Structure 1
Amino acid sequence: NKMAGLDIYYAGDPPYFASKLGWWRPFSPRFIRQQNLESMIFAPGNAVQIIALSEKQAALYRDFWRTEESRIHVVGPTLDPRRCRPELQAGDRNEIRDRFELPREAVIALSIANKLKVKGLDRAVKALQPFPGIHWLVAGFRKGSEEEIRLRGLIAKSGMSDRVTLLGIQEDIPAIVVASDFMLHAARLENTGTVILEALANGLPVIASDACGYAKYVEASGAGLVVANRDDPQIWRQAVQKAGDPAVRAQWHRAALAYGASNPLTGGLEAACDLIESLRRNRRVG
């Protein structure tokens, strides 16, 4: 989706160098080709106007390519209204847990992801391992996929198989959010992190890495913790231990509901469309 001759580029992904883990990547022909395409957009001196989805993403591009500040336009988030259903909190949570065959009495940590390493699921395994009273609910992996098989292997090796539920790909995100007690999103690389917004809007506390573009909303809401983007099991275990305290979770829950009610977390797409139209008019006038 990167090419020469563009007027506007909607940056839905992080920089290519950041998204490809592994020391050997810079030597691959594909990496070199993608870097060349990216340079046609982001390198200084180009005229392409760039729409970024978070300040974190914009900073990555600026730091690597030295892109001019005036060419990068950051728009806010767009939360699908269908994923925002805080009224479910007033219903019977046990009914939802029964539907997904989840233990009624356990503290449930939720992770929504489809890439094991990038989204930090290996970090989550190590973080949750010492807490037998916490059940881990994972959604987003296609059943039988290579990534799910690898995750199952990590779970089995950690001795957690009896307290993990892998739901596969789910559409009813509000329901599994309401069934959970906190979200654990330990991503190594996350352009935005829409799942963070979906959690907050439905009253679910969040533990997220500071790699996430939308981690700032966790801090702004006071509804969880933002953890350093490091492969240090201890810092993640400390965060999980804090989330295990019912009084702390209750405080975070109230903060999430209050923040979601006063901050609609929408309008990003409309802002992007307005920007595109404005740039088009200015180009026509010029």
Structure 2
Amino acid sequence: MKFAFIIFKYFPFGGMQRDMLRTANELIKRGHQVEVFTLSWQGEAPSQMGVHVLPQKGWFNYQRYKKFIKATFNIIQNSHFDYIFGYNRMAGLDAHFAADPCFIERAYTQRGFWYRLAPRTKWFAACEKAIFSANSSTHVLAVSLTEKPHFQRWYGLPDERFHYIPPYLSPERFALQDKKKMRQHLRETFGFGKNDFVYLLTGSGFSMKGLDRAILALAAMPKKLRENTRLVAVGQDNPKQFAAMAEKLVLQDHVVISKGRNDIPQLMQGADVCVHPAYRENTGLVILEGMASGAPMLVTETCGYAMHVKNADAGIVSAEPFNQEVFNQQWLEMRQALDLANKPKPKWSKNGLAYTKKLWRTMMVVLRQIS
């Protein structure tokens, strides 16, 4: 079969992007052809698949997306493709990978009246409806069940078109290295002291991932504890507003913001806490990846995979509705509970490791069944 994969933007460190590339590689390994259509591609494109980069111009993102979709389907319609697989929402898909939360649910519960009247909102809502409505034929693949009730409430999405995929963790995530060496690697990489306590936040889109919440929690710590506490944020985003925020709070020596890196598993293994205080997150694969790295977790309940932290007792889940003061206290609680001088420490690390290994074994059984 010949597959067309459509994704607005590809960059190496995005969760959805990694899922797309892994699926494409698996299909190619099984003898199929895959061609990817995208507005932009960062990094080297794989030689085994065709990559069509179709940049577009427009004042707003949604205008560029609209032009890109038209250009993509012009090519697809003039070529022979057996299956069209979209990672972003648009009409004309055979299947959609539902990585994002329900747009219309957020528009009505988290936004005001004027937001819903904006052309951008109407366009995104129409794209979502084209996929999830009861009279659509598009199949929906989802790695979380969190958003399913919202899609069904708004659009009447039938169960037979919704397909749950268990979360995927690559085997190398379980290749744990010497803890002392990983702690040293993290601290030397960013110029920290060997005994500094490090919170690590990873994920593209710092605004949505709640980097501001983490900076505020760091600022709220007692001065004596804050002196040797550091926050590292690694991901694909413009760091300017968060660097300014850290400077305003006199935290510029405590907060480091880095571009995406290839050594995330090693950094996770060297961190004292992996923090993911996202405003909203359909899944949050970095949560499971952090647990598989043996890192205690501090996450918000809005993340689809926060349930795994709670089920495993692998850290602290900050409940909804989010309260910054409560989160500040939870942040401090983890710092105090995991202090090097404290014994015994919580078993968050061991619990997370054991849980993700069990989850991985379950996932492998499912993959063998569909192979």
**TM-score when scaled to structure 1?**
0.83
State the distance in 1 between where 2:282 and 2:319 align.
Answer: 16
Cα 1:92–1:116 change in 2 (3 A) is closer
Q: Which entry has the higher C-alpha Rg, 1 or 2?
A: 2
Task: Give the conservation status (yes or no) of the 8 Å contact 2:278–2:302.
Answer: yes
Instruction: Note the C-alpha offset of 1:90.
Output: 6.2
State the distance in 2 between where 1:212 and 1:238 align.
Answer: 20
Q: Select the residue among 92, 96, 105 that pairs with 1:9.
A: 96
Partner in structure 2 of residue 281 of structure 1: none
Matched, 1:252 2:252: no
Cα 1:180–1:18 change in 2 (3 A) is farther
Task: Give the conservation status (yes or no) of the 8 Å contact 1:12–1:52.
Answer: yes
Cα 1:66–1:127 change in 2 (3 A) is farther
Instruction: Note the C-alpha offset of 1:231.
Output: 4.3
Cα 1:92–1:69 change in 2 (3 A) is closer
Partner in structure 2 of residue 99 of structure 1: 189
Partner in structure 1 of residue 214 of structure 2: 124
State the distance in 2 between where 1:78 and 1:31 align.
Answer: 32
Task: Give the conservation status (yes or no) of the 8 Å contact 2:276–2:300.
Answer: yes
State the distance in 1 between where 2:182 and 2:206 align.
Answer: 32
Q: Select the residue among 143, 146, 152 that pairs with 1:56.
A: 146
Task: Give the conservation status (yes or no) of the 8 Å contact 1:88–1:175.
Answer: no
Cα 1:141–1:46 change in 2 (3 A) is closer
Q: Select the residue among 185, 195, 216 that pairs with 2:276.
A: 185
Cα 1:249–1:155 change in 2 (3 A) is farther
Matched, 1:31 2:130: no
Instruction: Note the C-alpha offset of 1:77.
Output: 0.8
State the distance in 2 between where 1:40 and 1:73 align.
Answer: 17
Structure 2 stretches lacking a partner, 5+ long: 1-87
Task: Give the conservation status (yes or no) of the 8 Å contact 2:102–2:151.
Answer: yes
Cα 1:41–1:265 change in 2 (3 A) is farther
Partner in structure 2 of residue 263 of structure 1: 359
What secondary structure sits across from 1:118 in the alignment? helix
Partner in structure 1 of residue 314 of structure 2: 223
Cα 1:138–1:3 change in 2 (3 A) is closer
Matched, 1:234 2:325: yes
Instruction: Note the C-alpha offset of 1:243.
Output: 0.6
Letter in structure 2 aligned against 1:219: K
Cα 1:249–1:124 change in 2 (3 A) is farther
Identity across matched positions, percent: 26
Instruction: Note the C-alpha offset of 1:31.
Output: 2.0
What secondary structure sits across from 1:56 in the alignment? coil
Partner in structure 2 of residue 280 of structure 1: none
Matched, 1:70 2:160: yes
Partner in structure 2 of residue 150 of structure 1: 241
What secondary structure sits across from 1:264 in the alignment? helix
Task: Give the conservation status (yes or no) of the 8 Å contact 1:77–1:265.
Answer: no
- For each residue in 1:19-44, what CA deviation from the matched residue of structure 2 results, as whole angstroms up to 9, or x when unmatched? 77754432222321221222122122
Partner in structure 2 of residue 135 of structure 1: 230
Task: Give the conservation status (yes or no) of the 8 Å contact 1:119–1:186.
Answer: yes
Residues 132-141 or 190-199, more deviating:
132-141
State the distance in 1 between where 2:260 and 2:200 align.
Answer: 13
Task: Give the conservation status (yes or no) of the 8 Å contact 1:223–1:256.
Answer: yes
Matched, 1:42 2:42: no
Task: Give the conservation status (yes or no) of the 8 Å contact 2:182–2:269.
Answer: no
Partner in structure 2 of residue 284 of structure 1: none
Which structure is richer in relative contact order (CA contacts within 8 A, separation 6 or more)? 1
Instruction: Note the C-alpha offset of 1:210.
Output: 1.0
- For each residue in 1:124-163, what CA deviation from the matched residue of structure 2 results, as whole angstroms up to 9, or x when unmatched? 1112212214211111145xx3xx0001011112221121
State the distance in 1 between where 2:275 and 2:213 align.
Answer: 10
Matched, 1:206 2:303: no
State the distance in 2 between where 1:58 and 1:38 align.
Answer: 13
Aligned length: 269
Partner in structure 2 of residue 165 of structure 1: 256
Task: Give the conservation status (yes or no) of the 8 Å contact 1:102–1:165.
Answer: no
Q: Select the residue among 164, 172, 176 that pairs with 2:267.
A: 176
Letter in structure 1 aligned against 2:265: P
Q: Select the residue among 205, 221, 243 that pairs with 2:334.
A: 243
Structure 1 stretches lacking a partner, 5+ long: 278-286
